[in-house]
Homo-oligomer: A and B are copies of this chain.
Amino acid sequence: MSDPLYTVTQLANDLSVTARTVRFYEDKGLLNPQRVGNTRVYTHRDRARLILILRGKRLGFTLREIKEYLDLYDADPTRQEQLRALLKRVQNRIDSLIEQEKALVETLGELRAIEQQAQTALAAQQRGSARRAR
């Protein structure tokens, strides 16, 4: 009952990404699977790591940021620095999202105004052409 092992494609399918993506992450230093000859072999740790990466992406972090975080994970046994760094990143991201939300709400308002104007203008044109058709 040793750990399950995965090939690129298995791991990729498992987590719904492409093998290309997994190799790409390795190229960027986010993963470091073992090799058997030339072939990559992934353990459950690699799998957990990849899950973390995908979660980070989903939360809007860049691969570079995710890498920094993972590097800390490997380099900081106490996890103190890692936690602090994570906290900072997360708070920055929260601030940025709040900004985005403001902008989004404003944009929505403008768009709805434009929508109204367009609908009104169209309606006016309809009435005009209806009269002309009589």
Contacts and interface: CB of A to CB of B under 8 A. Distances in A.
Q: Looking at chain A's contact residues, is the secondary structure mostly helix, strand, loop, or mixed?
A: helix
Nearest to A100: B104
Contact of A59 (B83, B90, B98, B111): B111
Given A59-B110, A97-B107, A80 B125 contact: yes
Interface string A35-66: 00000000000000000000000111000000
A86 interface: yes
Interface string A82-112: 0110110011011001101100110110111
Interface residues of A, number: 32
Nearest to A121: B83
A84 B121 CA distance: 10
A26 interface: no
A118 interface: yes
A105 to B, nearest CB: 8
9 interchain residue pairs of minimum CB distance: A87-B118, A83-B122, A90-B115, A94-B111, A83-B118, A90-B111, A97-B108, A90-B114, A86-B118
